[in-house]
Each structure stands twice: as structure tokens, then as C-alpha cells.
Chain A
């Protein structure tokens, strides 16, 4: 036996596995607890009055502390969106689905959300949507408590109402 086999092994598979404990911290913990109560918690810039959701400790705009919390209902407007055609590991939504930026009523920035219960072709900027929550008793204080957003059927919001909240 003078040589190893002519045909090489082409590849090896390996899995990097990193378990860790994520600690939410004060503001984020409030936001998580809020989800359990079907509320989105935002924090208010003490200088400009802008509301950030999820809550920020300090305003990235004015650098002023955000010392006041506000609870927002899960209703808002689609400010921008994309249609997802490629599966994402850990997300078992049926393809294609819509990933959207949703500006909640009372918030000055938007959050990311999946839009369901309508055809992807029907999603548009300005569409009014509402959160669909996990049933009472099943919410754990996690972003998974929000299943997705769905159209409310209300008339579309005018662009000037959400232009600065993209």
C-alpha cells in the first residue's frame, strides 16, 4: 500500500454550538413583560417627546434620557416591506411571506413584523395592520407572543402620516 485512496473525501460537516443566557436588562425586560399583556412598551425621549419601541434608555437623536414609558396597542401602519421567497432557518412561515416595517400608532420608529392573512401581492405601504397574539395563558413574555400582523381593513394611512417613521 503505497498511497492513500485516489478519491478524496470531499467535505466534513461540523456544527458550532454556542449556548448562552440572554439577560434582557431593565428596559427590555419591561418590553417583554408588556408583550405578555398584549402591549408594546415604548420609551419617550425626554427632550423631543419621540417614542421609541422597543424602549431605548437614551435617545439616539438628542442623547436625552428616555425616562417615561408608554404602552402601545398592537395597531399600526406598514411603512415598508419585502416579500420573502427564501426560507430562513428557525422561521417556519409558509413561503412567500411578507416581512414588513410596522410603525405602531403612537410610536416614532417602526418594528419588524410578518404580515399574514392576506395575499402577499395585496400588501402595500400605508396599509393598516394589527397584531395577532398568542392566546391568553400561552404568552410567556417573548417576541414569539406576537404571531404576526394582519390587515385591519381600515382605509390606508396617508404617506405624510408615516413618512418620518420609516
Chain B
């Protein structure tokens, strides 16, 4: 064969997939069990941070473990939002436009990362939201047992 010249370009669509099984541990594990079995969002009152949701089992301020379990409301306020106008298949959780939001739930001092799917025009910092729960029997012990947050009022 001869020296290099032009060659028809060649490409391939490829996918890299990493299936993960995260061990949740005692604290997050009970938080998730609360979503599934009680339809309740639990936080942890820890030194220096108030009520942390989701709970981590220790204080980020002084590293101390433990804390008191506190049930917080499933209503709250958006503290940050990013609207995804063009979701990418399988990379994002939905195919229709949605918003990633941080929600500070009533009774909590930190914000939970979640999504809003409807009324994206009303998504803004300060907007009040309420959790849309998956029905009994469909909750599996995942943060997605809360199907989404809905803007209210």
C-alpha cells in the first residue's frame, strides 16, 4: 500500500455505562426508609447546622456524630433553580423540560436537591413548592419516591 492520503472519515456512537450500587448507611438508609414507609421527610438536628435534610449523620461544622431526628414538612421554598430546556436522553431523569431546584423544606435549615416538572414559568428563587409523592406500593426507598415538587401559591 502507498503513503497516507485521504481516507473516508469514520466515527461510532458509543456509550459508557457504570452501574453503581451505593451503600446508603444507617442515617441515609433510615431517611430513605422514611420516604418509603411513612411518606415522611426526616432531617437530623446536628450541632451548629440546625436541621439538615437529607441527614448526613454528622455535623459539617465540628464533625460530631449523632443528632436528633426531626420530621420536616413536605412544603418549602426554592433557594436555587436551573431549568433544563433540552434534556438529553438517559443523561437527565426526564425527556420533557424540567428544573433542578434546591428546596429548603419547612422546618429544615438546609436545602434538598430535587426537581420541578410543571409550571416551569413559576420556578424562581422564593417560590413555594410542595412534594408530589409516588403512591403507596410504588415507593421503593429512593429520593425519587418524591416524584417532583410542584409550585404552589
Contact = CB atoms under 8 A, between A and B. Distances in A.
Interface stretch (A10-18, A95-103, A131-139, A148-156): A10-18
Contacts of A22: 11-14
A81 interface: no
Contacts of B89: 19
Given A16-B17, A19-B15, A4 B24 contact: no
Interface in B27-48: 27-34, 36-38, 40, 42
A9 B38 contact: no
A8 B33 contact: yes
Contact of B4 (A4, A6, A26, A32): A26
B28 to A, nearest CB: 8
B26 interface: yes
Nearest to B22: A12
Interface string B99-115: 00000000000000000
Interface residues of B, number: 45
Contacts of B1: 41, 68-71
A13 B33 contact: no
Contacts of A9: 24, 28-30, 32-33, 36, 141-142
Given A4-B42, A18-B17, A33 B7 contact: yes
B96 to A, nearest CB: 18
A5 B16 contact: no
Contacts of A160: none
Given A4-B31, A29-B7, A29-B8, A11 B23 contact: yes
B133 interface: no
A19 B29 contact: no
A47 to B, nearest CB: 16
Interface in A43-67: 67
A67 B3 CA distance: 6
A161 interface: no
B38 A1 contact: yes
A17 B10 contact: no
B19 interface: yes
B14 A1 contact: no
A164 interface: no
A13 B16 CA distance: 17
A11 B24 contact: yes
B121 interface: no
Nearest to A70: B1
Interface of A: 1-24, 26-30, 32-33, 41, 67-71, 141-142
